[in-house]
Each structure stands twice: as structure tokens, then as C-alpha cells.
Structure 1
Amino acid sequence: MKGSLLILQNKKKAENALFNTEERYRMLVEKLPAVVFMDKFDQPETTQYISPRLKDLLGYTPQEWESGDNLWKNSLHPNDRERVLSEDIRTDQTGEPFRIEYRMRHQDGHYVWIKEDASIVLGEDGTPLFWQGILLDITDQKHAEEAIQRREEIIKAVGFSAEQFLKSSNWEDCINQVLAQLGKTTQVSRVYVFKRHTSNKKIYSYLKSLNGAIRE
């Protein structure tokens, strides 16, 4: 009997500690320019708290998010889902911080690049209480990185093309390689070359189909 009462008292203390921590946390983060959240450790799909900035980030109010059907998991970009969920499971098991970048679907349908950084908060006895973390919008940063990468790839493709043409005595001998490289860089499936025959002053269309060698 005494053992049961002690267990109940410890449970109540833990619940009170969690409530007090949440209230202090709420006051500190309401005005931060990022989304701050708390998820239950034993129920990671259940949001304990999420700040109002969520509306700016993903279009949902905290109430819509908390009452939704696991919106975090269901909003992950299909190309990021497996990677993110695998890391989620791994860090739940190891207790390591959850730090990852991924895309989430906004309520209106477009995708937002997110940087998440979350850690486990422990009780006085070392028992995991909840995950607390922050979500940052890094969409502009990602777009800038992609633009720089695309520019570098185009420069490399132009350099490759020039090198191939200079090495060859007949441009038609290397045109397929050049077009394949340009198509891959610019993410197109077909490239057209127009050749002018000066003998009869007529322009003939000269088409090089890559037959599936170039894909978006």
C-alpha cells in the first residue's frame, strides 16, 4: 500500500514539474522568431506545446496542429520522409539530439525547408520527460544554395563543351556527349541543334534525340 502511494506521489510530482516547466517555457518562447515545440517523449506524435509562430511557418494554428492527424509525419516531403523518420527512430533509441533539415508541406500546398534541432529534457531522476526543439525556416537559404550550385554546374558544362569541340576536328563527332552534358545540367530531356547547309541556302533542322540518355 505504501509502495503504491509513493509511486502515485512521484508520478504527481513529475506531472507538476512538467506543467511548471511548460508554463515557464511558454512565456519565454512566445515572441521568438522561430517555432518552438515540446513533444511527449513516450508519445512523440503527441505535441505537448507548439508556439504560435507555426502559423507563419506552415499555415496552421497550434490548435489545428495539436488536433490534427499526426500532421508532422503526414506533412513531410515524400523524398525526405524515409530519411527523417529513420533519424527520428534512431535518436529516440539513443537519446541523441535530433538535428536535421527537411521539407514540409505548408497548409496551402507548397513546401518549406525546415531546420529542426531538438533535445530530450530529463527529470531529476534522469527519466526522459519530453523532446523540446525549434523549427527554423531555411527556404531562402536553400534556394540560394541551389542557385549557386546550378550556376557552377552550368559553368562546368560550358567548359566541358568547349573542351570537346576544341579537341575534335568534326563537331558532329562529339555533339552527343556535349548535348547529354548540357541536358543533364539544365534538367531537360531533349536538346535541339539547327544546322545550316550553305550549299543551297536552305536551313535544315538537325535534331539529336538523346533516346532517354538525359532525364530530369
Structure 2
Amino acid sequence: MPAFAISAAAKNGLVGHEQFAFLADVIPPLVWITDANGFHIYFNHRWIDFTGYDLAGSVGPDVWNNLLHPDDQARARQVWGHSLATGEDYNIEYRFKAKDGSYRWFLGQALPRRGADGQIIAWFGTCTDIQEQRQMREQLEAAYSDLEAKITFRTLD
């Protein structure tokens, strides 16, 4: 049982799909759900707005991979395959293609939902835009490299 209280309204079915869909649509990340085998069965509206694909256009073996930057595809496939095979949490940074053709960095995360028997019945995931954080990290790394070069040059004098 999850570590949160279930209200009487939730127990009586008053909190359900409509409320989940509302929540998924108002939070910033792209939200998705797959079945136990990794087949996508749900995307929120932010996914649709970002990619330009609706649910019907988003399912299938190649859609997700085709939205990933070519340099990230093999690694993303390997990490997702590992999570599906082991049941371990999914956690990866990759670039996703927007509907305008540009790429942005995202943090992809997913957790398995298990049934009473312990078997995975679904994966619940998000893709959080981290473009600005990646740019800041790259700028810091460049500044650090520049500083190291200046220090090395100065100590040679």
C-alpha cells in the first residue's frame, strides 16, 4: 500500500481518471504510462503540445525512438530495456525533438506499478524539460576548462 492516505472520496470512486488527467495536464512535465511490456497507453496534453503527436500517433515501436536525438537513441533504448527487464526505476537524460524540429534536453524518469502479486502491471513516467540546466552546466564546464587552461599557462611562466 502506498504511503499516503486514501480519502473517502477516492475510495468511493469520486477521484479517478478525470482528476488524474487534469493533474497530468497542469504540471510541467510530459506524462506517460506504458503497459508492463513498455507499450505506451497514455500521454498528457503537454506531450501532444510538445511533439505534435496525439495518442494514436505516439504509439508504436518507432515513434518514441524517432523523437530522440540520433546520438541518444541507442543509449535510451539500452536504459529502457534494462528497466523493463529488471523492474528497476528508469532515469535518463536525452534530447527530444519538438514539433518545430528543434531538440530540447529532458530528464526521463519512470517507476513501475506492481500488482498484488508483485508483478509489474504498468510504468508511470515523466519527461521534465532540463534544457536551461544543461546549458548552465555546459557554460560552467567551459568556464572551468578555460580557468584550468589559464592556470596551467600562468604556472608555465
User: Is the aligned partner of 1:118 residue 2:110?
Assistant: yes
For residue 123 of structure 1, report the CA deviation from its aligned partner: 2.3
Q: Say how many residue pairs are matched.
A: 143
Q: 1:49 aligns with which of 33, 37, 42?
A: 42
Question: Are the aligned partners of 1:97 and 1:120 in contact in 2 as well (CA < 8 Å)?
Answer: yes
Is there any run of 5+ residues in structure 1 with no aligned partner, and where?
1-19, 167-216
Q: 2:148 aligns with which of 134, 156, 159?
A: 156
Q: 1:39 aligns with which of 34, 55, 62?
A: 34
Percent of residue pairs bearing the same amino acid type: 26
Inter-partner Cα distance in structure 2 for 1:88 and 1:155: 38
1:139 aligned partner: 131
What is the TM-score with the length of structure 2 in the denominator?
0.78
For residue 99 of structure 1, report the CA deviation from its aligned partner: 0.9
Q: CA RMSD in A?
A: 2.3
**Which structure's relative contact order is higher, taking Cα pairs within 8 Å and 6+ residues apart?**
2
Is there any run of 5+ residues in structure 2 with no aligned partner, and where?
1-14
2:9 aligned partner: none
What is the TM-score with the length of structure 1 in the denominator?
0.59
Inter-partner Cα distance in structure 2 for 1:27 and 1:151: 42
Instruction: Name the aligned partner's letter for residue 71 of structure 2.
Output: N
The SS at the match of 2:150 is helix
